[in-house]
Structure 1
Protein backbone atom coordinates (compact mmCIF):
# COMPACT_ATOMS: atom_id res chain seq x y z
CA UNK A 1 0.00 0.00 0.00
CA UNK A 2 2.82 2.40 0.90
CA UNK A 3 4.68 1.59 -2.32
CA UNK A 4 1.53 2.20 -4.37
CA UNK A 5 0.91 5.55 -2.64
CA UNK A 6 4.52 6.60 -3.24
CA UNK A 7 4.20 5.70 -6.93
CA UNK A 8 1.01 7.74 -7.32
CA UNK A 9 2.56 10.70 -5.49
CA UNK A 10 5.64 10.54 -7.73
CA UNK A 11 3.46 10.46 -10.86
CA UNK A 12 1.50 13.48 -9.66
CA UNK A 13 4.71 15.38 -8.93
CA UNK A 14 6.06 14.59 -12.40
CA UNK A 15 2.87 15.93 -13.97
CA UNK A 16 3.28 19.16 -12.00
CA UNK A 17 6.96 19.71 -12.83
CA UNK A 18 6.29 21.73 -16.04
CA UNK A 19 3.81 23.94 -14.18
CA UNK A 20 6.19 24.58 -11.27
CA UNK A 21 9.17 25.26 -13.54
CA UNK A 22 7.21 27.70 -15.70
CA UNK A 23 6.07 29.57 -12.55
CA UNK A 24 9.70 29.89 -11.43
CA UNK A 25 10.73 31.15 -14.88
CA UNK A 26 8.01 33.80 -14.81
CA UNK A 27 9.09 35.02 -11.36
CA UNK A 28 12.62 35.45 -12.75
CA UNK A 29 11.51 37.26 -15.94
CA UNK A 30 8.73 39.47 -14.55
CA UNK A 31 10.98 41.98 -12.70
CA UNK A 32 13.27 42.39 -15.74
CA UNK A 33 12.45 45.75 -17.34
CA UNK A 34 14.43 44.85 -20.46
CA UNK A 35 12.29 41.78 -21.15
CA UNK A 36 9.78 42.37 -24.02
CA UNK A 37 6.12 42.45 -23.01
CA UNK A 38 5.17 39.62 -25.38
CA UNK A 39 7.77 37.38 -23.71
CA UNK A 40 6.37 38.21 -20.27
CA UNK A 41 2.84 37.59 -21.54
CA UNK A 42 3.85 34.20 -22.95
CA UNK A 43 5.48 33.06 -19.71
CA UNK A 44 2.62 34.53 -17.64
CA UNK A 45 0.06 32.28 -19.32
CA UNK A 46 2.41 29.28 -19.78
CA UNK A 47 1.77 27.82 -16.27
CA UNK A 48 -1.98 27.95 -16.92
CA UNK A 49 -1.48 26.12 -20.21
CA UNK A 50 0.56 23.49 -18.36
CA UNK A 51 -2.38 23.06 -15.96
CA UNK A 52 -4.48 22.27 -19.05
CA UNK A 53 -1.85 19.69 -20.01
CA UNK A 54 -1.99 18.29 -16.47
CA UNK A 55 -5.73 17.70 -16.88
CA UNK A 56 -5.26 15.97 -20.22
CA UNK A 57 -2.55 13.62 -18.87
CA UNK A 58 -5.11 12.02 -16.53
CA UNK A 59 -7.40 9.28 -17.71
CA UNK A 60 -10.44 11.54 -17.97
CA UNK A 61 -13.11 11.07 -20.59
CA UNK A 62 -13.52 14.67 -21.75
CA UNK A 63 -16.77 13.81 -23.53
CA UNK A 64 -18.52 12.72 -20.33
CA UNK A 65 -16.65 14.63 -17.61
CA UNK A 66 -18.44 17.97 -17.91
CA UNK A 67 -16.56 19.50 -14.97
CA UNK A 68 -13.22 18.92 -16.69
CA UNK A 69 -14.57 20.57 -19.85
CA UNK A 70 -15.63 23.67 -17.91
CA UNK A 71 -12.32 23.71 -16.03
CA UNK A 72 -10.40 23.69 -19.32
CA UNK A 73 -12.55 26.53 -20.65
CA UNK A 74 -11.98 28.55 -17.48
CA UNK A 75 -8.23 28.01 -17.62
CA UNK A 76 -8.05 29.02 -21.29
CA UNK A 77 -10.03 32.21 -20.66
CA UNK A 78 -7.70 32.91 -17.71
CA UNK A 79 -4.69 32.50 -20.00
CA UNK A 80 -6.24 34.98 -22.45
CA UNK A 81 -6.83 37.39 -19.57
CA UNK A 82 -3.18 37.06 -18.55
CA UNK A 83 -2.08 37.99 -22.07
CA UNK A 84 -4.30 41.10 -22.18
CA UNK A 85 -3.28 42.21 -18.68
CA UNK A 86 0.43 41.76 -19.32
CA UNK A 87 0.66 43.13 -22.85
CA UNK A 88 -0.84 46.53 -22.08
CA UNK A 89 -2.69 46.96 -18.77
CA UNK A 90 -4.14 50.35 -19.75
CA UNK A 91 -5.26 49.67 -23.32
CA UNK A 92 -6.55 46.12 -22.87
CA UNK A 93 -7.61 46.28 -19.22
CA UNK A 94 -11.32 45.78 -19.97
CA UNK A 95 -10.54 42.91 -22.32
CA UNK A 96 -8.47 41.18 -19.66
CA UNK A 97 -11.16 41.60 -17.01
CA UNK A 98 -13.76 40.30 -19.47
CA UNK A 99 -11.69 37.16 -20.06
CA UNK A 100 -11.37 36.53 -16.33
CA UNK A 101 -15.08 37.25 -15.90
CA UNK A 102 -15.86 34.50 -18.44
CA UNK A 103 -13.43 32.19 -16.62
CA UNK A 104 -15.31 32.77 -13.35
CA UNK A 105 -18.63 32.06 -15.09
CA UNK A 106 -17.29 28.68 -16.20
CA UNK A 107 -15.97 28.00 -12.71
CA UNK A 108 -19.36 28.86 -11.17
CA UNK A 109 -21.01 26.52 -13.67
CA UNK A 110 -18.42 23.87 -12.89
CA UNK A 111 -18.87 23.94 -9.09
CA UNK A 112 -22.67 23.91 -9.40
CA UNK A 113 -25.32 24.93 -6.88
CA UNK A 114 -25.17 21.95 -4.51
CA UNK A 115 -24.73 22.21 -1.61
CA UNK A 116 -26.24 25.69 -1.47
CA UNK A 117 -24.70 26.70 1.93
CA UNK A 118 -26.31 30.12 2.35
CA UNK A 119 -24.20 30.84 5.44
CA UNK A 120 -21.04 30.71 3.34
CA UNK A 121 -22.75 32.95 0.80
CA UNK A 122 -23.64 35.55 3.45
CA UNK A 123 -20.06 35.52 4.75
CA UNK A 124 -18.61 36.08 1.27
CA UNK A 125 -21.18 38.83 0.58
CA UNK A 126 -19.81 40.64 3.63
CA UNK A 127 -16.24 40.15 2.37
CA UNK A 128 -17.24 41.34 -1.10
CA UNK A 129 -18.95 44.43 0.32
CA UNK A 130 -15.80 45.43 2.22
CA UNK A 131 -13.77 44.79 -0.94
CA UNK A 132 -16.15 46.95 -2.98
CA UNK A 133 -16.23 49.83 -0.50
CA UNK A 134 -12.43 49.88 -0.27
CA UNK A 135 -12.01 49.85 -4.05
CA UNK A 136 -14.74 52.45 -4.58
CA UNK A 137 -12.54 55.15 -3.04
CA UNK A 138 -9.90 54.51 -5.71
CA UNK A 139 -12.13 54.35 -8.80
CA UNK A 140 -14.67 57.01 -7.84
CA UNK A 141 -13.74 59.17 -10.85
CA UNK A 142 -13.51 56.24 -13.30
CA UNK A 143 -17.18 55.58 -13.96
CA UNK A 144 -16.81 53.02 -16.80
CA UNK A 145 -14.33 50.95 -14.77
CA UNK A 146 -16.40 51.38 -11.61
CA UNK A 147 -19.40 49.41 -12.84
CA UNK A 148 -17.20 46.85 -14.57
CA UNK A 149 -15.36 46.36 -11.27
CA UNK A 150 -18.64 45.82 -9.41
CA UNK A 151 -19.74 43.17 -11.90
CA UNK A 152 -16.37 41.46 -11.66
CA UNK A 153 -16.46 41.45 -7.85
CA UNK A 154 -19.93 39.88 -8.02
CA UNK A 155 -18.63 37.14 -10.33
CA UNK A 156 -15.51 36.30 -8.35
CA UNK A 157 -17.47 36.40 -5.09
CA UNK A 158 -20.04 33.97 -6.48
CA UNK A 159 -17.25 31.72 -7.74
CA UNK A 160 -15.61 31.69 -4.29
CA UNK A 161 -18.99 30.93 -2.69
CA UNK A 162 -19.61 27.92 -4.93
CA UNK A 163 -16.00 26.74 -4.51
CA UNK A 164 -16.19 26.90 -0.70
CA UNK A 165 -19.81 25.72 -0.27
CA UNK A 166 -18.65 22.17 0.48
CA UNK A 167 -16.42 23.09 3.42
CA UNK A 168 -17.06 26.60 4.77
CA UNK A 169 -19.24 26.35 7.92
CA UNK A 170 -19.85 22.69 7.04
CA UNK A 171 -18.87 19.50 8.82
CA UNK A 172 -19.19 17.33 5.71
CA UNK A 173 -15.86 18.31 4.23
CA UNK A 174 -13.13 16.40 2.43
CA UNK A 175 -9.62 17.20 1.24
CA UNK A 176 -10.83 17.57 -2.34
CA UNK A 177 -13.52 20.06 -1.28
CA UNK A 178 -10.94 21.87 0.83
CA UNK A 179 -8.74 22.27 -2.26
CA UNK A 180 -11.62 24.02 -4.03
CA UNK A 181 -12.18 26.30 -1.04
CA UNK A 182 -8.51 27.27 -0.85
CA UNK A 183 -8.47 27.96 -4.58
CA UNK A 184 -11.56 30.18 -4.46
CA UNK A 185 -10.37 32.22 -1.46
CA UNK A 186 -6.86 32.66 -2.89
CA UNK A 187 -8.37 33.90 -6.15
CA UNK A 188 -10.08 36.69 -4.19
CA UNK A 189 -6.79 37.56 -2.46
CA UNK A 190 -4.98 37.61 -5.81
CA UNK A 191 -7.52 39.86 -7.51
CA UNK A 192 -7.72 42.17 -4.50
CA UNK A 193 -3.96 42.76 -4.54
CA UNK A 194 -4.09 43.27 -8.31
CA UNK A 195 -6.94 45.79 -8.05
CA UNK A 196 -5.23 47.72 -5.25
CA UNK A 197 -1.97 47.86 -7.22
CA UNK A 198 -3.82 48.88 -10.39
CA UNK A 199 -6.16 51.56 -9.00
CA UNK A 200 -4.95 52.59 -5.53
CA UNK A 201 -1.26 52.24 -4.75
CA UNK A 202 1.61 49.82 -5.52
CA UNK A 203 1.65 46.86 -3.18
CA UNK A 204 4.84 46.43 -1.18
CA UNK A 205 5.23 42.86 -2.52
CA UNK A 206 3.76 42.55 -6.00
CA UNK A 207 4.65 38.84 -6.00
CA UNK A 208 1.72 38.16 -3.66
CA UNK A 209 -0.66 38.67 -6.56
CA UNK A 210 1.11 36.21 -8.85
CA UNK A 211 1.83 33.60 -6.18
CA UNK A 212 -1.76 33.50 -4.91
CA UNK A 213 -3.11 33.46 -8.49
CA UNK A 214 -1.11 30.42 -9.59
CA UNK A 215 -1.76 28.63 -6.30
CA UNK A 216 -5.50 29.30 -6.65
CA UNK A 217 -5.58 27.89 -10.18
CA UNK A 218 -3.57 24.85 -9.07
CA UNK A 219 -5.91 24.00 -6.17
CA UNK A 220 -9.03 24.53 -8.30
CA UNK A 221 -7.57 22.21 -10.94
CA UNK A 222 -6.72 19.56 -8.33
CA UNK A 223 -10.21 19.72 -6.83
CA UNK A 224 -11.81 18.92 -10.18
CA UNK A 225 -9.32 16.40 -11.57
CA UNK A 226 -9.63 14.32 -8.40
CA UNK A 227 -13.42 14.49 -8.38
CA UNK A 228 -15.56 12.02 -10.29
CA UNK A 229 -18.11 13.60 -12.56
CA UNK A 230 -21.64 13.61 -11.20
Structure 2
Protein backbone atom coordinates (compact mmCIF):
# COMPACT_ATOMS: atom_id res chain seq x y z
CA UNK A 1 0.00 0.00 0.00
CA UNK A 2 1.54 3.33 -1.03
CA UNK A 3 1.78 6.44 1.13
CA UNK A 4 -0.92 8.30 -0.80
CA UNK A 5 -3.44 5.48 -0.35
CA UNK A 6 -2.67 5.27 3.36
CA UNK A 7 -3.13 9.03 3.77
CA UNK A 8 -6.42 8.94 1.84
CA UNK A 9 -7.78 6.18 4.05
CA UNK A 10 -6.69 8.00 7.19
CA UNK A 11 -8.46 11.16 6.01
CA UNK A 12 -11.62 9.21 5.20
CA UNK A 13 -11.56 7.57 8.64
CA UNK A 14 -11.14 10.95 10.34
CA UNK A 15 -14.08 12.40 8.40
CA UNK A 16 -16.18 9.39 9.40
CA UNK A 17 -15.31 9.87 13.08
CA UNK A 18 -16.11 13.56 12.88
CA UNK A 19 -19.44 12.91 11.17
CA UNK A 20 -20.42 10.34 13.79
CA UNK A 21 -19.48 12.72 16.59
CA UNK A 22 -21.45 15.59 15.04
CA UNK A 23 -24.54 13.47 14.38
CA UNK A 24 -24.62 11.89 17.84
CA UNK A 25 -24.07 15.27 19.50
CA UNK A 26 -27.05 16.66 17.60
CA UNK A 27 -29.18 13.64 18.60
CA UNK A 28 -28.25 14.21 22.24
CA UNK A 29 -29.16 17.89 22.09
CA UNK A 30 -32.48 17.22 20.39
CA UNK A 31 -33.48 14.86 23.19
CA UNK A 32 -33.50 11.71 21.06
CA UNK A 33 -32.20 9.49 23.87
CA UNK A 34 -34.32 8.72 26.98
CA UNK A 35 -33.21 10.04 30.36
CA UNK A 36 -30.83 7.73 32.21
CA UNK A 37 -30.81 5.06 29.52
CA UNK A 38 -27.53 3.43 28.59
CA UNK A 39 -26.53 4.39 25.06
CA UNK A 40 -26.09 1.25 22.98
CA UNK A 41 -23.28 1.44 20.42
CA UNK A 42 -24.62 -1.11 17.95
CA UNK A 43 -28.06 0.36 17.13
CA UNK A 44 -26.61 3.88 16.91
CA UNK A 45 -23.87 2.60 14.60
CA UNK A 46 -26.50 0.93 12.41
CA UNK A 47 -28.58 4.11 12.31
CA UNK A 48 -25.56 6.15 11.22
CA UNK A 49 -24.27 3.43 8.87
CA UNK A 50 -20.85 3.28 10.54
CA UNK A 51 -18.93 0.75 12.59
CA UNK A 52 -19.03 0.78 16.40
CA UNK A 53 -15.55 2.33 16.66
CA UNK A 54 -16.46 5.92 15.61
CA UNK A 55 -19.55 5.70 17.82
CA UNK A 56 -17.43 4.64 20.79
CA UNK A 57 -14.99 7.47 20.09
CA UNK A 58 -17.86 9.94 19.83
CA UNK A 59 -19.11 8.86 23.28
CA UNK A 60 -15.67 9.59 24.76
CA UNK A 61 -15.62 13.06 23.19
CA UNK A 62 -19.18 13.83 24.28
CA UNK A 63 -18.28 12.78 27.80
CA UNK A 64 -15.40 15.29 27.71
CA UNK A 65 -17.92 17.88 26.44
CA UNK A 66 -20.09 17.12 29.52
CA UNK A 67 -22.99 16.08 27.32
CA UNK A 68 -22.69 12.45 28.45
CA UNK A 69 -22.02 10.87 31.82
CA UNK A 70 -20.39 7.52 32.48
CA UNK A 71 -21.66 4.53 34.43
CA UNK A 72 -19.23 2.81 36.78
CA UNK A 73 -18.97 -0.13 34.38
CA UNK A 74 -18.01 2.15 31.48
CA UNK A 75 -21.29 2.70 29.65
CA UNK A 76 -22.62 6.17 28.84
CA UNK A 77 -25.90 8.04 29.30
CA UNK A 78 -27.09 11.59 28.56
CA UNK A 79 -26.19 14.12 31.25
CA UNK A 80 -29.05 15.94 32.96
CA UNK A 81 -29.40 19.67 32.33
CA UNK A 82 -29.56 21.95 35.37
CA UNK A 83 -31.35 25.08 34.15
CA UNK A 84 -30.94 26.91 37.47
CA UNK A 85 -27.19 26.36 37.55
CA UNK A 86 -27.04 27.45 33.92
CA UNK A 87 -28.72 30.79 34.68
CA UNK A 88 -26.26 31.47 37.53
CA UNK A 89 -23.31 30.73 35.27
CA UNK A 90 -24.70 32.94 32.50
CA UNK A 91 -24.96 35.77 35.04
CA UNK A 92 -21.34 35.25 36.05
CA UNK A 93 -20.30 35.15 32.39
CA UNK A 94 -22.08 38.44 31.70
CA UNK A 95 -20.51 40.09 34.76
CA UNK A 96 -17.00 39.11 33.63
CA UNK A 97 -17.51 40.27 30.05
CA UNK A 98 -19.13 43.57 30.99
CA UNK A 99 -16.24 44.32 33.31
CA UNK A 100 -13.89 43.77 30.40
CA UNK A 101 -15.76 46.35 28.33
CA UNK A 102 -16.10 48.97 31.06
CA UNK A 103 -12.45 48.86 32.20
CA UNK A 104 -11.75 51.29 29.36
CA UNK A 105 -13.82 53.93 31.15
CA UNK A 106 -11.09 54.20 33.77
CA UNK A 107 -8.27 56.66 33.24
CA UNK A 108 -5.17 55.14 31.71
CA UNK A 109 -6.90 51.96 30.54
CA UNK A 110 -7.82 51.21 26.95
CA UNK A 111 -8.56 48.22 24.79
CA UNK A 112 -5.89 46.73 22.55
CA UNK A 113 -6.97 48.31 19.28
CA UNK A 114 -4.78 46.07 17.12
CA UNK A 115 -6.33 42.99 18.74
CA UNK A 116 -9.83 44.37 18.07
CA UNK A 117 -9.04 45.08 14.42
CA UNK A 118 -7.67 41.56 14.04
CA UNK A 119 -10.79 40.16 15.71
CA UNK A 120 -13.05 42.14 13.39
CA UNK A 121 -11.20 40.89 10.30
CA UNK A 122 -11.41 37.30 11.48
CA UNK A 123 -15.16 37.54 12.02
CA UNK A 124 -15.77 39.28 8.72
CA UNK A 125 -14.15 36.21 7.13
CA UNK A 126 -16.40 33.92 9.19
CA UNK A 127 -19.43 35.97 8.16
CA UNK A 128 -18.47 35.48 4.50
CA UNK A 129 -18.23 31.71 4.98
CA UNK A 130 -20.26 30.68 8.05
CA UNK A 131 -20.01 27.15 9.50
CA UNK A 132 -22.76 24.57 9.48
CA UNK A 133 -25.34 24.82 12.32
CA UNK A 134 -24.29 21.58 14.02
CA UNK A 135 -23.19 22.88 17.42
CA UNK A 136 -19.50 23.14 16.53
CA UNK A 137 -19.83 26.94 16.30
CA UNK A 138 -19.47 26.97 20.09
CA UNK A 139 -15.68 26.78 19.70
CA UNK A 140 -15.58 29.86 17.47
CA UNK A 141 -18.01 31.69 19.74
CA UNK A 142 -15.92 31.01 22.83
CA UNK A 143 -12.77 32.14 21.03
CA UNK A 144 -14.46 35.45 20.18
CA UNK A 145 -15.53 36.22 23.73
CA UNK A 146 -12.14 35.25 25.15
CA UNK A 147 -10.30 37.41 22.61
CA UNK A 148 -12.66 40.30 23.34
CA UNK A 149 -11.99 40.02 27.07
CA UNK A 150 -8.24 39.67 26.61
CA UNK A 151 -8.25 42.92 24.62
CA UNK A 152 -9.30 44.67 27.84
CA UNK A 153 -5.84 43.99 29.27
CA UNK A 154 -7.00 41.91 32.26
CA UNK A 155 -5.94 38.34 31.53
CA UNK A 156 -7.26 37.11 34.89
CA UNK A 157 -10.79 37.98 33.73
CA UNK A 158 -10.22 35.97 30.56
CA UNK A 159 -8.90 32.98 32.51
CA UNK A 160 -11.98 33.04 34.74
CA UNK A 161 -14.27 33.26 31.72
CA UNK A 162 -12.52 30.27 30.19
CA UNK A 163 -13.30 28.29 33.33
CA UNK A 164 -16.96 29.38 33.25
CA UNK A 165 -17.16 28.46 29.56
CA UNK A 166 -16.04 24.95 30.37
CA UNK A 167 -18.88 24.56 32.85
CA UNK A 168 -21.63 25.83 30.52
CA UNK A 169 -20.31 24.61 27.17
CA UNK A 170 -22.66 21.63 27.08
CA UNK A 171 -25.80 23.77 27.36
CA UNK A 172 -24.47 26.69 25.31
CA UNK A 173 -24.11 24.33 22.36
CA UNK A 174 -27.92 24.35 22.15
CA UNK A 175 -27.70 27.93 20.91
CA UNK A 176 -26.11 27.00 17.60
CA UNK A 177 -28.39 24.41 16.03
CA UNK A 178 -29.97 26.63 13.37
CA UNK A 179 -28.59 28.79 10.59
CA UNK A 180 -30.37 31.91 11.81
CA UNK A 181 -28.66 31.73 15.20
CA UNK A 182 -25.25 31.38 13.56
CA UNK A 183 -25.94 34.37 11.29
CA UNK A 184 -27.28 36.61 14.05
CA UNK A 185 -24.48 35.70 16.47
CA UNK A 186 -21.82 36.59 13.91
CA UNK A 187 -23.49 39.95 13.21
CA UNK A 188 -23.79 40.66 16.94
CA UNK A 189 -20.12 39.87 17.49
CA UNK A 190 -19.13 42.31 14.78
CA UNK A 191 -21.46 44.94 16.22
CA UNK A 192 -19.80 44.72 19.63
CA UNK A 193 -16.31 45.04 18.15
CA UNK A 194 -17.34 47.95 15.91
CA UNK A 195 -18.71 49.85 18.92
CA UNK A 196 -15.41 49.38 20.77
CA UNK A 197 -13.40 50.50 17.76
CA UNK A 198 -15.60 53.62 17.66
CA UNK A 199 -14.82 54.16 21.37
CA UNK A 200 -18.53 53.83 22.19
CA UNK A 201 -18.33 51.80 25.39
CA UNK A 202 -21.98 52.36 26.28
CA UNK A 203 -23.12 50.95 22.94
CA UNK A 204 -20.80 47.96 23.25
CA UNK A 205 -22.25 47.24 26.70
CA UNK A 206 -25.82 47.41 25.40
CA UNK A 207 -24.98 45.14 22.47
CA UNK A 208 -23.21 42.62 24.68
CA UNK A 209 -26.15 42.50 27.10
CA UNK A 210 -28.57 41.92 24.23
CA UNK A 211 -26.29 39.30 22.68
CA UNK A 212 -25.87 37.21 25.84
CA UNK A 213 -29.51 37.72 26.80
CA UNK A 214 -30.69 36.40 23.43
CA UNK A 215 -28.38 33.41 23.79
CA UNK A 216 -29.71 32.57 27.25
CA UNK A 217 -33.31 32.74 26.02
CA UNK A 218 -32.65 30.38 23.10
CA UNK A 219 -30.61 27.96 25.22
CA UNK A 220 -33.30 27.80 27.91
CA UNK A 221 -36.03 27.08 25.37
CA UNK A 222 -34.10 24.40 23.50
CA UNK A 223 -32.67 22.75 26.60
CA UNK A 224 -36.14 22.62 28.17
CA UNK A 225 -37.51 21.02 24.99
CA UNK A 226 -34.71 18.45 25.00
CA UNK A 227 -35.52 17.61 28.63
CA UNK A 228 -39.19 17.19 27.70
CA UNK A 229 -38.37 14.91 24.76
CA UNK A 230 -36.12 12.71 26.89
CA UNK A 231 -38.77 12.44 29.57
CA UNK A 232 -41.40 11.42 26.98
CA UNK A 233 -39.11 8.74 25.59
CA UNK A 234 -38.38 7.44 29.07
CA UNK A 235 -42.11 7.12 29.82
CA UNK A 236 -42.72 5.36 26.51
CA UNK A 237 -39.93 2.90 27.26
CA UNK A 238 -41.34 2.12 30.70
CA UNK A 239 -44.76 1.58 29.18
CA UNK A 240 -43.47 -0.67 26.40
Normalised by the length of structure 1, the TM-score is 0.32
Using CA pairs under 8 Å that are at least 6 residues apart, name the structure with larger relative contact order, 1 or 2.
Answer: 2
Normalised by the length of structure 2, the TM-score is 0.31
